[in-house]
Copies of this chain bind each other. A is one copy, B any other.
Amino acid sequence: MDDDQLSRVFAALAEPTRRDIVARLTVGDATVGQLAAPYDVSVQAVSKHLKVLEDAGLVSRSRDAQRRPCHLEAEVFDLMTKWIERYRRRAEERYRRLDTVLAEMDDEVDGATTTNRSNPRERGAP
Contact = CB atoms under 8 A, between A and B. Distances in A.
A105 interface: no
B16 A3 contact: yes
Range of interface residues on A (Cβ < 8 Å): 35 or more
A121 B28 contact: yes
B116 A29 contact: yes
A73 B122 CA distance: 10
Contacts of A104: none
Interface of A: 1-4, 6-8, 10-11, 13-16, 19, 22-23, 25-31, 33-34, 62-64, 67, 69, 71-75, 77, 80-81, 83-85, 87-88, 90-92, 94, 115-116, 118-119, 121-123, 126
